[in-house]
Chains A and B, each alone.
Chain A
Amino acid sequence: MPAEMSGRAEVRASVAARRPRAAHIIGQNIGLVLAAAILLLSIIVFVAMFLIQQHRLPGNFEITSTVDNTMPLALAAIGQTIVVLTRGIDLSVGGVVDLTNALAAIYLAGSFTHMIVVAILVILVGAAAGLVNGLLVGLGRLQPIVVTLATLSIFQGLAIRVLPQPGGTVPDGVTAFLVNTNGPYALLFLALAALGWMALRRSRIGVAIFAVGNDEQAAIAHGVNAVRTKVIAYTIGGAMYALAGLFLAANATSGDATSGNVFTLTSIVATVLGGVSLFGGRGSALGSICGAFITTMIVNILFYAHINPLYQSFYEGLFLIIAVVLGAAIGGLVRRGRA
Chain B
Amino acid sequence: MLFRFSPDSLRILAAYAAAVALFVIGAFVHPGFASFPSVTAILLVASFVGLVAAGQCFVILIGGIDLSVPWVLNAAAILLATSSLGQNSRALYAIALTLGMGALVGLANGIVIVWFAVPAVVMTLAMNGIVEGLALGLSGGMTCSACASYAPPVVAAAVHGVFLGVPAALWLWLVVIVVVSFVLSFTRFGRATYAIGNNPRAAFLAGVNVNLTTIFLYALSGLFSALAGILLVGFGGQASLGMGDPYLFQSIAAVVIGGVSILGGRGNYLGAAAGAVSLTALVSVLLALNMPEYGRSIIYGVVILALLLLYGREQRE
Taking CB atoms, residues of chain B closer than 8 Å to A161 are 294-295, 298
CB pair B301–A313 under 8 Å, yes or no, is: no
> Any chain A CB within 8 A of the CB of B305?
yes
CB of B47 to closest CB in A, whole Å: 22
> How far, in angstroms, from A313 to B136 measured CA to CA in the complex?
9
A315 cross-chain contacts in B, Cβ below 8 A? 133
Question: B140: which A residues are within 8 A, CB to CB?
Answer: 310
Q: What chain A residues lie within 8 Å of B305 (beta carbons)?
A: 136, 147, 150-151, 154
Contact, CB under 8 Å: A149 / B298: no
Whole-angstrom distance between the Cβ of B293 and the nearest chain A Cβ: 6
Whether B134 contacts A269 by the Cβ 8 Å rule is: no
The distance in angstroms between the C-alpha atoms of A152 and B240, with both chains bound, is: 25
Stretch of A9-17, A170-178, A317-325 that contacts chain B: A317-325
Tell which of B252, B253, B296, B313 touches A142, judged by Cβ atoms closer than 8 Å. B313
Q: How far is the CB of B84 from chain A (nearest CB, A)?
A: 23
A158 touches B (CB below 8 Å): yes
- Tell me the complex Cα distance, A137–B25, Å: 30
What band does the interface of chain B fall in when counting residues whose beta carbon is under 8 Å from A?
Answer: 35 or more
- Size of the A side of the interface (Cβ < 8 Å), in residues, is 44
Chain B residues closer than 8 Å to A324, beta-carbon distance: 118, 122, 126
CA distance A268 to B129 in the complex (A): 13
A269 to B121, CA, bound (A): 10
Is B34's beta carbon under 8 Å from chain A? no
Is B308 a contact of A157 with CB atoms below 8 Å?
Answer: no
B67, chain A: closest CB distance, angstroms:
8
Q: Tell me whether B130 and A157 are in contact (CB under 8 A).
A: no
Known contacts: A145-B65, A314-B132. The answer to whether A157 contacts B123 by CB under 8 A is no
B308-A142 in contact (CB<8A) = yes
- By CB atoms of chain B within 10 A, which of A153, A161, A325 has the most? A153
Cβ contact within 8 Å between A265 and B125: yes
Instruction: Indicate if the CB atoms of B128 and A317 lie closer than 8 Å.
Output: yes
Within 8 A of B (CB), among A278-323: 278-279, 308, 310-318, 320-321
Q: In the complex, A14→B313 CA distance in Å? A: 48
A151 touches B126 (CB 8 A): no
What is the CA–CA distance of A290 and B51 in the complex, to the nearest angstrom? 39
**Are A145's CB and B301's CB within 8 A?**
no
Contacts of A159 in B (CB 8 A): 294
Chain A residue nearest in CB terms to B302: A154
B117 touches A328 (CB 8 A): yes
Chain B's nearest CB lies how many Å from the CB of A225? 14
The answer to whether A278 and B130 touch across the interface, beta carbons within 8 angstroms, is no
Given known contacts A142-B312, A150-B308, A310-B141, A325 and B118 CB-to-CB distance under 8 angstroms: yes
With a CB–CB cut-off of 8 A, which chain B residues contact A321? Answer: 112, 118, 122-123, 126-127
The verdict on A325 contacting B308 (CB below 8 Å), with A149-B253, A157-B295, A320-B129 known, is no
Known contacts A153-B300, A313-B132; 7 additional CB pairs below 8 A are A143-B263, A145-B262, A146-B252, A150-B308, A317-B126, A317-B131, A328-B118
Q: Can you list 26 residue pairs at the A/B interface with Cβ under 8 Å?
A: A141-B314, A142-B314, A143-B314, A145-B252, A147-B308, A149-B252, A150-B302, A150-B304, A153-B301, A154-B301, A157-B295, A157-B298, A157-B299, A159-B294, A160-B293, A311-B134, A313-B132, A314-B129, A314-B137, A316-B126, A316-B133, A320-B129, A321-B123, A321-B127, A324-B118, A328-B117
